Amino acid sequence: MPHPARARIRRLSVLALVAAAAATACGDTAQEQRQPSAVGVVPGLERFYEQDVDWESCGPYDADGPMMVRQGVECARIEVPLDYEDPDGEVITLAVSRLPAGGDRIGSLLVNPGGPGASGLSTALAADGTVLADRFDVVGFDPRGVGSSEPAVRCLTDAEFDADRAVDDGDTSPEGIAATEKRNQEYAELCAERNGTDLLAHLGTREVVQDMDVLRGVLGDDALTYLGYSYGTRLGTLYAEAFPGRVRAMVLDGAIDPEQDPVEEIVLQAVGFQKAFDEFAAYCAQYAGCPLGTDPARAAERFRGLVDPLLDAPAPTTDPRGLSHRDAITGVQQGLYSPTLWGSLRGGLEALATTGTGDTLLRLADLYEGRGEDGTYSNITDAFNAIRCVDDPPVTDRALAGELDTRFRAAAPFLDDGRGTGSAALDVCAFWPVPATGEPHTPDVRDLPPVLVVSTTGDPATPYDAGVELAARLGGVLVTFEGTQHTVALDGNECVDTAVTSYLVDLEVPARDPRC
């Protein structure tokens, strides 16, 4: 089993929505300039808040650029200081996307899909076809160091990523732990060498929330209207702490509890993925030939029987890489994010069981890892590591690392390969070349307007109770969705979407915490 690490909790349903968007020609981009807002301009940062924006074609911005062009999205670059304590020093750029409002415009709706490390440009289409797209300029952005923002964090080459994914990192013998820690340390050193420690030191959520306020001003909004998924809820919470008087409306879906210790967060994620696996196993059992059998109680045992032989040899695939044990686990976890992927996951496990081939699971793993069909990688993995390693203090206590591994296996038996020893390798953040700039804490939010928190009862990546806690801490209203998927707002559930839309457009907060 790979060493436990927080899952990248981006909102994959948004990316699927974007990929399936109709390729209807929409003509030239609007090129309409919004006047910067004079509200809340931070002294010394005037030139950033007041900068002009040159909107242009999204074609060269990222892999989804041509599709965004067809959908009428326009893109631009915004300048921000690398270090807000040195605004006259190095300047970096953020890639920003915008789908102009189709009707009576209220302002901008800034959307973040999660991660950390996920590109947000495609989220300009997150509200496509809804009332929100009529009333708001829907704006996505790549946070600093991510995607098309410049410079983007890059630690490994494409070939190095392929090689790394083929390595077994679940050996918890003393020799295996030493080898894993050596690779983690070498990775951290490569990140420092190829990016510089100045960049790595200023990629955390602390800086991104300041970038968000610059964006608010540049886009011409006196107050921020925001929709954040998964890790995006952390961005929203910290923005509310830093700028409570500049929040118009805020929807936080798939919450991260800001008080949650990162170690406990990992264990709770394991619980969530086990619950999602159990739900998937029950779904699979309805089909003849389900590779997990007809008894969901034995599904974890049968699953291990399918994937554990890959520790000795990868399964053949059309792609010459083959399916490693590590990629099989990644592909399965990817498939558990949403019931929309369960058919692919069932097919992948069935192929592994009947023909011994791993093509479908490898494709699912590639989706998670950001690998394109041409063999090139997005920088989501490097950015994920760079951001999380400065967002929270690292685990450097070996006893705690071993305890975490033991608890993870107990919480998610389907992920336990039986090789636990009570010891585990320190992960890459223990070797990170710059210190953390954030830590778990109780949000200190005053004079914040009511926010809307959406939480899903069977969310595999962000536990339901985290949403309950976040709503309470922010004095917000909780919308509960009863389902098994990662985030739900704007996914087509009428009950949830009605509450979200009424709140964002009319600032109508439900009278009580609704259940959908």
Alpha-carbon distance 123 to 139, whole Å?
7
Please say whether the beta carbons of 395 and 401 come within 8 A: yes
Residue from 37, 122, 230, 455 carrying the catalytic annotation: 230
**Lowest-pLDDT range of 177-181, 392-396, 479-483, 511-515:** 511-515
202 noted as active-site residue = no
pLDDT at position 384: 97
pLDDT at position 37: 81
230 noted as active-site residue = yes
In a domain, residue 20? The reply is yes
Chain centroid, CA 232 distance in Å: 8
pLDDT over 60 at 429, yes or no: yes
- Selected residue with higher pLDDT from 69 and 161: 161
459 noted as active-site residue = yes
Residues ≥6 apart with Cβ < 8 Å to 311? 168, 170, 325, 417
In a domain, residue 390? The reply is no
Alpha-carbon distance 357 to 319, whole Å?
11
> How sure is the predictor about 20, in pLDDT bands with cuts at 50, 70 and 90?
very low
Domains in the chain, number:
1
| pTM of model > 0.85 | yes
Residue from 338, 486, 491, 497 carrying the catalytic annotation: 486
Give the domain CATH number at 462: 3.40.50.1820
Average pLDDT over residues 102-121: 96
Alpha-carbon distance 265 to 259, whole Å?
10
pLDDT at position 110: 98
Average pLDDT over residues 75-98: 97
Q: How far lies 407's CA from each of 270, 401, 415, in Å?
A: 9, 10, 12
Q: How far lies 251's CA from each of 159, 229, 480, in Å?
A: 39, 8, 13
| Residue percentage of the chain with pLDDT more than 70 | 94
pLDDT over 80 at 175, yes or no: yes
Domain that holds residue 114: 12-152+205-260+446-506
- Tokens representing 267 are 């264990």
pLDDT tens digit string along 40-51? 888 999 999 999
Query: What are the DSSP E strand ranges found in 360-514?
Result: 452-456, 477-481
Residue 95: closest CA among 35, 171, 151 = 151
pLDDT tens digit string along 307-347? 999 999 999 999 999 999 999 999 999 999 999 999 999 99
Alpha-carbon distance 100 to 94, whole Å?
19
pLDDT at position 32: 61
In a domain, residue 199? The reply is no
In a domain, residue 131? The reply is yes
pLDDT at position 1: 39
In a domain, residue 489? The reply is yes
Alpha-carbon distance 490 to 16, whole Å?
12
Q: How far lies 19's CA from each of 7, 13, 75, 403, in Å?
A: 22, 10, 18, 41
Q: Phi and psi dihedrals of 241, rounded to 5?
A: -65, -45
Please say whether the beta carbons of 11 and 380 come within 8 A: no
3-state secondary structure labels for all residues of 230-256? CHHHHHHHHHHHHCHHHEEEEEEECCC
pLDDT at position 10: 40
In a domain, residue 183? The reply is no
pLDDT at position 33: 66
CA triplet 273, 233, 250: central angle to 5 degrees? Answer: 135
- Tokens representing 294 are 């007809």
Beta bridge partners of 315: 323
In a domain, residue 463? The reply is yes
pLDDT tens digit string along 214-235? 999 999 999 999 999 999 999 9
pLDDT at position 11: 38
Residue from 128, 221, 459, 491 carrying the catalytic annotation: 459
Order of strands across the sheet that contains 224-229:
56-57, 74-81, 91-99, 136-142, 107-112, 224-229, 247-253, 452-456, 477-481
pLDDT at position 22: 31
In a domain, residue 483? The reply is yes
Average pLDDT for the chain: 92
Q: Please, which contacts does 326-329 make with residues 24 or more away whose CB atoms are closer than 8 Å? A: 326/2, 326/165, 326/166, 326/167, 326/168, 326/169, 326/170, 327/165, 327/358, 327/361, 327/362, 327/365, 328/352, 328/358, 328/361, 328/365, 329/1, 329/2, 329/415
Average pLDDT over residues 173-177: 96
Residue 375: closest CA among 165, 171, 86 = 165
